[in-house]
Chain A
């Protein structure tokens, strides 16, 4: 593992930072929320992101990608997270695209990946259900054989960017007991097929999520992604990669909240002095800095472990997600507290980070869930 950045990686990070500065702002994020924008993100910004090639970062050159890894993608996601960008990169590249990348047939790759990388196709993964909590093996959605194909019924929730996705990867039980790892299959489903309804959900941080209802939706044999009944391991891999990506987004967000807070400590005057001169606040700020530095290392380690197919990659991801969940929440909570009354207003931006921190924490498992997972993976 190489924790320092190469010149190329440095350049990528700098251009991502410049892009966010030039093409986005918290004003834009606020406007998307307040206008109840139908897409919930900007198609123009998405086109620009695609034009920069970033959607192709983790995909093989044979699939039209750049053949880079999670380490590089994390650099971009960190900058997008700093600016709270809602563009559907995580869902399209790592969730939906991840399924095709890891297990797609040659036909599926050829049909999807070049279009995805060009920014012309949005994908997502529908895995979560009411009652499944963070387990991707617990599901009521089922697929039954119908001729040489399948018919799917069930209900998914909190499906990231489902209302704009062109295609969804849907997990369904094709066999096995409830919660068993065996008997899960992933299907590639067009959003426009009969029987599939998408209902947009309104979430805490204004990000795009939706309920997906499947009523006897037909799927051909060509729609199966990966092995029939063997979807659990594939879901593990997809969600680990997406979790690492989310951690990078969180790393950016916690730094933005922290920077905003430090800035306020230096400028806000009370008792005739900047409040940042008070030791009670200095120590909390210095502690927060420490926690964030550790989060940065964990995010890099998780991304590199995935790139290197490290035997403990899942543990690395668990460590990163636990730490980013706790540290982003700490940074946002401390941010609001140190801003005082203004921090409680919707007018101030710090609240956006508090909401995002909570939302990201509760996506793919919070710190308690990840510690539980880590202990189990480590055999105690």
Chain B
């Protein structure tokens, strides 16, 4: 533990010395975190500098092995690093699906050559990834996907259409599921591929959502050549890889709902309520909103404690308990409720879509309420999560 304290001191000193000044402030409402990639535009040069110094130490991916450019930290050191960054209010140097989805899956299941080819550019923030799973005809029933990949020499020729590809218009590479054996049962004819988005035949079209944002795209694949060397896992065994990756994805989505009233960039519901609803005799002036706020905060605590329980159980060396299956379901439903509450708290000021007369926080709250509708759809709908709990945890019959 003495070593850990030394590590803490050294880490803090290093962060203070190496983080550019403007990185010591949380992101403003309108600011995007750093996603990296070839197409990244750095309006603030500090963002790029912060990415580069952290990447050089592997601290964009603190726990990944050093041989692939990662930080090589153990869990305790990684926690200290996160704590020190939080204490200094430092922004994360890099976010993205490389770090949260394909990276962990590559480390888990990738061949040596795939790991060497793909992990270091993720750590350095050079390559931004997107996920090619859903198709127009394959939403909840993902395994019914129709995008075809036919072997042609050392390549596959891939044709089909993907949808809900997050940030495909910004991404450099895509990991995708394709059908390689149309005659096999649907789960057994799927292969997991890694594809360069600059390959001829790839085209991307953003989808405008009800929130006014376009985080998702349609991706059209017209006879795209993908080297067979870019298969992850075995041919026709892509569903296994997909399931492993989906686990990482669900954890990430459930994480979105964290930080109620904590160190989040927006003001908490509680602070907003004081300002917008007003206080009478020390209590929020609207008793019904007060109860909704209390209920939401109390449920958030229960979820946080359950996440803590899951971590503690894992640390104690027990297999993850049944409680892990509930995080995606409950976390996203709770976040939706929280966003409803925010709109109720703002009242008529939540009517804004754009200025004038509405400030950025108000507009953001309304857009985020709309955005949050997707939480219980993306990454497996709430209904699919309930199916999984009913089947795998409760053992209810088909």
Contact = CB atoms under 8 A, between A and B. Distances in A.
Interface of A: 1-5, 262, 265-266, 273-274, 276-277, 279, 281-283, 285-287, 289-290, 293-298, 300-301, 316, 318-319, 322-323, 368, 371-372, 374-376, 378-380
Q: Which 8 A-B pairs have the closest CB atoms?
A: A3-B309, A286-B389, A282-B390, A297-B305, A4-B316, A286-B386, A3-B312, A294-B302
Given A3-B309, A374-B298, A262 B322 contact: no
Interface in B340-398: 383, 385-387, 389-390, 393-398
B313 A294 contact: no
B88 interface: no
B308 interface: yes
5 contacts: A274-B397, A276-B397, A285-B396, A286-B385, A301-B301
A378 B294 CA distance: 9
Nearest to A283: B386
B247 to A, nearest CB: 18
Contacts of A2: 312
A294 B298 contact: no
A380 B330 contact: no
B282 interface: yes
Contacts of A323: 298-299, 302
B210 to A, nearest CB: 25
Nearest to B388: A286
B291 A372 contact: yes
Given A298-B302, A371-B291, A375-B291, A4 B387 contact: no
Given A293-B322, A375-B290, A375-B294, A300 B301 contact: no
Interface size class of chain B, counting residues whose CB lies under 8 Å from the partner chain: 35 or more
A372 B283 CA distance: 10
Contacts of B311: 3
B396 A282 contact: yes
Contacts of B330: 290, 294
A3 B393 contact: no
Interface string B218-257: 0000000000000000000000000000000000000000
A371 B318 CA distance: 34
Nearest to B329: A290
A366 to B, nearest CB: 12
A277 B396 contact: yes
Given A294-B303, A319-B302, 14 more contacts: A4-B316, A277-B396, A283-B383, A283-B386, A283-B387, A286-B393, A289-B389, A293-B323, A300-B305, A301-B301, A323-B302, A375-B290, A375-B291, A380-B293
B337 interface: no
B326 interface: yes
